[in-house]
Structure 1
Amino acid sequence: MPNVLKSYPLILWNYFKYDGPRTNNHVEGFHTRLMKKAGKSHPNLFEVVQLFIHEEASSNVQVLQLESGQSAPRRRRRYDDIDNRLERLGLEYMLCERSLASYLGAIGHMMDSVYRR
């Protein structure tokens, strides 16, 4: 058994049936937007503080819009399809309709085809 499995309990690194983001793309997107707003790769401390103040104001506006009933931006259908397929595969595995090898193979095949696009 690899040392990683001995060092960290399964609950810390297993994302089976996790409803949150599958990647850190949202973090990368936030960083990219922030750096574009900064206009340079190494802003000074005061510029960073101003960026965060403006970002907080933008976030507050978005929260108010959502609270007032405006719908959230729509995700791409492609990602909804991936989520639905992963959900179905997970359910098949949990109901013992798929073996672990079949479940992992199906996810691998699906992700391989997704990233070839």
Structure 2
Amino acid sequence: MAPLVPVEKVEDVWFQALEEVDSDDRSVVDFSDYVTETWVENNRQMWNHYETEGPRTTNHLEGWHHKLNNQMHRAHLNIFTIIKLLQTFQSANEIKIIQLAAGGKRRKKEKKYRDLETRLRQLKERYELDMINVMDYTDAVSHILKHR
């Protein structure tokens, strides 16, 4: 679960995890070399979410895109139809903003996701307080996400 480990610890976690891998299998070695060179040694900040507050995925954007596609009843709309559709979306969002500013409530996340975030936050706090080491933290995060 290297994406949820501090950036400066990713390499340590990755190399420790590699010690448990069967190094006799050439495809495993090739894959681990690729991950090490491309992602662990070079692009950690791009995919690491340890410090991320808010969404860690693009699901909200995919949902918006799906909704937009459902409103278009043909594959190739003219530009004026697209503009009118986007204006409708904008009006709906402005109404939501006004409602929220007036004290309206946001729709709650599903309980399983709220519980997952709580468990991950508590685990992160334990790690940051040096109550557990980085490998125990990583194992626990992996276990939580695997059994959700």
The percentage of aligned residue pairs carrying the same residue is 26
TM score, norm. by length of structure 2: 0.67
Q: Which moved more, 1:40-49 or 1:61-70?
A: 40-49
CA-CA distance at 1:19 after TM superposition: 1.5
CA-CA distance at 1:103 after TM superposition: 0.8
Q: Which amino acid aligns with 1:53?
A: Q
CA-CA distance at 1:5 after TM superposition: 4.3
Gaps of 5+ in 2: 1-35
Kindly indicate whether residue 68 of structure 2 is the aligned counterpart of residue 34 of structure 1: yes
CA-CA distance at 1:41 after TM superposition: 4.2
Q: Which amino acid aligns with 2:119?
A: R
Kindly indicate whether residue 14 of structure 2 is the aligned counterpart of residue 14 of structure 1: no
Contact kept? 1:17, 1:90, Cα under 8 Å = no
Say if 1:30 and 1:7 are closer, same or farther in 2 by CA, change over 3 A: same
Quote the residue 1:80 is aligned against: 114
- Please give the per-residue CA displacement for 1:6-51, whole angstroms capped at 9, x wherever unaligned: 44464x5432132211221111111111111112344343332222
TM score, norm. by length of structure 1: 0.83
Q: How many residues align?
A: 113
Q: Decide which structure has the larger Cα Rg and report it.
A: 2
CA RMSD of aligned residues (A): 1.8
Q: Which amino acid aligns with 1:15?
A: H
Gaps of 5+ in 1: none
Kindly indicate whether residue 39 of structure 2 is the aligned counterpart of residue 4 of structure 1: yes
Distance in 2 between residues matched to 1:6 and 1:106, nearest whole Å: 24
Quote the residue 2:3 is aligned against: none
Instruction: Choose the corresponding residue for 1:71, options 105, 130, 133.
Output: 105
Distance in 2 between residues matched to 1:84 and 1:74, nearest whole Å: 14
Quote the residue 1:93 is aligned against: 127
Distance in 1 between residues matched to 2:139 and 2:62, nearest whole Å: 29
| Structure 1 runs of 4+ with >3 Å offset | 3-10, 40-44
- Please give the per-residue CA displacement for 1:86-107, whole angstroms capped at 9, x wherever unaligned: 1011111111111111111111
